[in-house]
C-alpha cells in the first residue's frame, strides 16, 4: 500500500509516487550512509530544514503506463541510458528500522535511520576515546570492543590488526554459514561463550532463557542459535558434512546418464553448456562435451548457442529415452526455459517443454533432504567434503569463472584469452565430474 516518492533522473524536479514499492529497510547500510551525509551537512552548515529526506539512485526502472508511474523494464534499455532511472527519496526520520531495545517489552522497537546512526556514531566515538587513552601502560583501560568477524572483514584494511585479536576458534571466525550477527555474538560472549568449543560444550536449552530476551531484534533467533550450535559441534569434531537421514538415499536407477552444468557471464548470458556423458557400454569412461562461445553474447548469440547444445542433447535423449540428465539446483532448467521462450528451434522447445520434465533430475533437493553442511550445501562444499572430489583449479567458484570469462573475451592478447578460456572449460568439466562423483558417493551411503 505504500507509494514511494521518486524523481526521474532525466525529468527535472517532477515528483512521482510509485504505488506498491518502497525503499528496502534491510538495506540498512545505505540508509546509515545517507544519515552520515545528513549529519555532515548539518555540521558544516549546508543542511536544509524540514523533513530529513535523502536520495538513492537505484537500478529499478520506472515507466509511465496509462498516466501512472509503475515499476517496469524498458526493453530497449541500453547501458548508460538513464531515461527510466529515478532518485528514490528516503525519509531518514521515519522509524522503520527494527532494532534491539532492552527496555521494550518486545525486546525491540523501530528506530529511524538518524537515530540508528547517532547511536552507532556515539558508540564509535567512545571506542576511539578509550583507544586514544591506551598508551601501552599497565593502567590502560580495556579496549571498548573486540573484533567480530562480519562480511566486510573480507575487504577491510583493518583485518591485519583484527585477526590477531581473535581466537583461532572464535565463533564469528569459524561459523561462516548463517553467521550470527554482531549483537548475537556480543550476547554470547557476555555469557562466556566465545569459541566453537565453548558453544559445542554448552547445553543450548540452558542458554535460551538468558539469551533470547537479548536478541529479540532477530526473527528466528532460537533456530539460528541451534544451527550455530550444531555447526560448532561439527567444527569442534572436524566434521564438515553429515547425513541427517536414515537409510539409503533414493536416486534414479543407474544407466546411460548425462551430468549438466552451464556457465553464465556477468551479464547473465549462458556462454557455456558442459555435459559429462556416462555410457555404461563405453569402456573408456565418461567423456566431456561442451558448447561454448567466448564472446560478448546478445540475445541472438546466446540463443544460437543454446539451440546448438539442445540439438545435441535431444539427440542423446532420443537415442536413450531412459537416460537421466543430472544437474545441481534449478539454474540450468530456468535458463533453458527462459531462452526457449524466444526460440523457434524445435529441439530447444522440446527440451524445455518435455525432456526437462521427464528426464532431468535435480540433485540439490536430494542433498537438502539428506545432509547438513557446516559450510552450507553448495556443490563445491559437498562434493569436496563429502565425495572427496577435488577441482583442478585452486580457486574454483561461479563468480571467479565470470572474471575468467571476461578475460577470455577481453584479455590483452591471444595467449591470455586462450589461457582463460581453457581455465573456464576445465572448471566446467570439473563441475560436471563433481556432480557425477557426488551421486556416486551418495549411492554408497546407508
Ligand atoms: S576487519 Fe576489524 S575493523 Fe574491519 S570489519 Fe572486520 S572486525 Fe571490523
Minimal-distance CA residue to ligand 1 atom 7: 147
CB under 8 Å to 8, separation ≥6 — which residues?
14, 16, 62, 84, 85, 86
Q: Is residue 438 part of a domain?
A: yes
Judged against a pLDDT cut of 60, whether residue 77 lies above it is answered with no
Assess if residue 376 is contained within a domain: yes
Question: How sure is the predictor about 103, in pLDDT bands with cuts at 50, 70 and 90?
Answer: confident
Dig out the grid coordinates for 75 from the structure. Answer: 526493453
Instruction: Determine, yes or no, domain membership for 247.
Output: no
Q: Taking residues 344-359, what's their average pLDDT?
A: 96
- pLDDT tens digits along 352-365: 999 999 999 999 99
pLDDT at 67 over 90: no
Specify the DSSP element, H or E, that contains 398.
helix 398-410
The residue from 192, 212, 239 where one domain ends is 239
Question: What mean pLDDT do residues 340-358 have?
Answer: 96
Which triple of cell numbers denotes residue 145? 570492543
Q: Where are the alpha helices (DSSP H) in 98-256?
A: 113-133, 159-162, 171-174, 182-190, 196-200, 204-211, 221-236
- Minimal CA–CA distance to 235: which of 196, 204, 198? 196
Instruction: Tell me how far the alpha carbon of residue 241 lies from the centroid of ligand 1, in angstroms.
Output: 29
Residue 269 has pLDDT above 70, yes or no: yes
DSSP assignment letter at 150: -
Q: How is residue 311 written as a grid cell?
A: 540439438
Q: What is the mean pLDDT of residues 356-379?
A: 96
Does 365 lie in the same domain as 218? no
Same domain, 292 and 218: no
Residues 28, 120, single domain; the answer is: yes
CB of 396 within 6 A of ligand 1: the answer is no
Per-residue pLDDT tens over the stretch 311-327: 999 999 999 999 999 99
Do 274 and 357 share a structural domain? yes
Whether residue 246 lies inside any domain: the answer is: no
In a domain, residue 244? The reply is no
Query: What's the chain's average pLDDT?
Result: 93
> Cell numbers 562423483 correspond to what residue?
437
Ligand 1: does its nearest atom lie under 6 Å from the Cβ of 156?
yes
Range of the domain at 282: 257-444
Claim to verify: residue 222 and residue 336 sit in the same structural domain: no
- 360-362 vs 324-327, strand pairing mode: parallel
Q: Is 32 in the pocket of ligand 1 (CB under 6 A)?
A: no
Task: Looking at the structure, tell me whether residues 173 and 313 fall in a common domain.
Answer: no
CB count, 10 Å around CB of 185?
22
Q: Is 158 in the pocket of ligand 1 (CB under 6 A)?
A: yes
Number of C-alpha atoms within 13 angstroms, CB side, residue 259? 22
Does ligand 1 come within 6 angstroms of the Cβ of 159?
yes
325, 408: one domain: yes
Identify the CATH number of the domain in which residue 299 sits: 3.30.420.10
pLDDT digits (tens, 9 = 90+) for 27-56: 899 999 999 999 999 999 999 889 999 999
What is residue 91's three-state secondary structure? Answer: strand
Q: What's the pLDDT at 80?
A: 61
pLDDT of 75: 62
Say if residue 437 is in the same domain as residue 320: yes
Residue 305 CA to ligand 1 centre (angstroms) = 45
Confidence band, pLDDT 50/70/90 cuts, at residue 189: very high
250 part of a folded domain: no
The reply to whether 263 and 372 lie within a common domain is yes
153 CB within 6 A, ligand 1: yes
In a domain, 199, yes or no: yes
The C-alpha atoms of residue 374 and residue 232 are separated, in whole angstroms, by 8
Q: How far is the CA of 182 from the centre of ligand 1 (A)?
A: 11
Calpha distance 349→329 (Å, rounded): 21
Residue 436 pLDDT greater than 80, yes or no = yes
Of 91, 121, 141, which closes a domain?
A: 141
Number of Cβ within a 10 Å radius of residue 31: 26
How many domains does one find in the chain?
3
Report pLDDT for 1: 56
What residues does 55 pair with on adjacent strands?
89
Same structural domain, 274 and 336: yes
Domain annotation covers residue 314 = yes
pLDDT value of position 76: 62
The reply to whether 187 and 316 lie within a common domain is no
Q: Is 113 left (phi over 0), alpha (psi -120 to 50) or beta?
A: alpha
Amino acid at each position: 500500500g505504500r507509494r514511494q516518492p521518486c524523481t526521474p533522473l532525466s525529468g527535472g524536479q517532477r515528483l512521482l509516487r510509485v504505488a506498491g514499492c518502497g525503499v528496502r529497510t534491510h538495506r540498512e547500510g545505505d540508509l546509515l550512509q545517507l544519515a552520515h551525509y545528513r549529519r555532515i551537512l548539518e555540521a558544516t552548515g549546508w543542511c536544509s530544514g524540514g523533513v530529513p529526506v535523502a536520495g538513492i539512485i537505484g537500478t529499478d526502472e520506472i515507466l509511465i503506463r496509462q498516466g501512472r508511474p509503475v515499476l517496469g523494464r524498458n526493453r530497449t534499455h541500453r547501458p548508460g541510458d538513464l531515461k527510466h532511472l529515478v532518485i528514490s527519496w528516503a525519509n531518514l526520520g521515519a522509524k522503520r528500522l527494527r532494532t534491539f531495545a532492552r527496555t521494550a517489552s518486545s525486546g525491540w522497537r523501530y528506530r529511524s535511520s538518524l537515530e540508528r546512526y547517532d547511536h552507532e556514531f556515539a558508540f564509535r566515538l567512545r571506542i576511539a576515546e578509550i583507544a586514544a587513552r591506551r598508551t601501552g601502560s599497565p593502567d590502560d583501560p580495556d579496549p571498548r570492543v573486540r573484533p567480530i568477524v562480519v562480511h566486510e572483514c573480507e575487504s577491510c584494511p583493518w583485518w591485519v590488526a583484527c585477526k590477531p585479536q581473535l581466537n583461532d576458534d572464535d565463533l564469528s571466525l569459524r561459523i561462516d554459514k548463517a553467521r550470527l550477527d554482531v549483537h548475537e555474538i556480543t550476547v554470547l560472549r557476555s555469557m562466556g561463550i566465545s569459541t566453537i568449543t565453548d558453544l559445542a560444550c554448552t547445553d543450548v536449552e540452558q542458554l535460551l532463557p538468558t539469551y533470547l530476551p537479548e536478541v529479540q531484534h532477530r526473527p528466528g533467533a532460537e533456530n539460528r542459535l541451534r544451527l550455530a550450535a550444531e555447526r560448532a559441534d561439527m567444527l569442534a569434531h572436524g566434521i564438515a558434512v553429515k547425513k541427517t537421514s536414515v537409510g539409503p538415499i533414493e536416486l534414479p536407477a543407474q544407466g546411460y546418464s548425462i551430468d549438466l552444468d552451464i556457465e553464465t557471464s556477468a551479464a547473465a548470458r549462458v556462454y557455456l553448456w558442459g555435459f559429462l556423458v556416462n555410457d555404461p557400454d563405453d569402456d573408456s569412461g565418461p567423456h566431456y562435451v561442451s558448447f561454448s562461445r567466448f564472446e560478448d553474447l546478445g540475445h541472438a548469440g546466446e540463443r544460437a548457442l543454446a539451440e546448438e547444445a539442445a540439438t545435441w542433447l535431444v539427440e542423446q535423449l532420443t537415442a536413450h529415452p531412459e537416460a537421466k540428465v543430472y544437474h545441481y539446483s534449478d539454474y540450468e532448467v530456468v535458463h533453458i526455459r527462459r531462452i526457449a521462450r524466444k526460440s523457434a528451434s524445435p529441439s530447444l522447445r522440446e527440451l524445455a517443454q518435455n525432456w526437462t520434465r521427464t528426464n532431468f533430475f535435480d540433485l540439490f533437493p536430494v542433498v537438502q533432504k539428506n545432509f547438513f553442511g557446516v559450510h552450507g550445501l553448495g556443490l563445491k562444499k559437498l562434493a569436496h567434503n563429502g565425495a572427496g572430489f577435488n577441482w583442478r583449479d585452486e580457486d574454483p567458484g561461479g563468480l571467479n569463472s565470470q572474471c575468467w570469462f571476461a578475460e577470455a573475451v577481453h584479455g590483452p592478447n591471444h595467449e591470455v584469452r586462450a589461457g582463460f578460456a581453457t581455465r573456464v572449460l576445465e572448471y566446467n568439466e570439473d563441475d560436471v565430474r563433481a556432480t557425477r562423483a557426488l551421486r556416486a558417493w551418495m549411492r554408497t551411503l546407508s
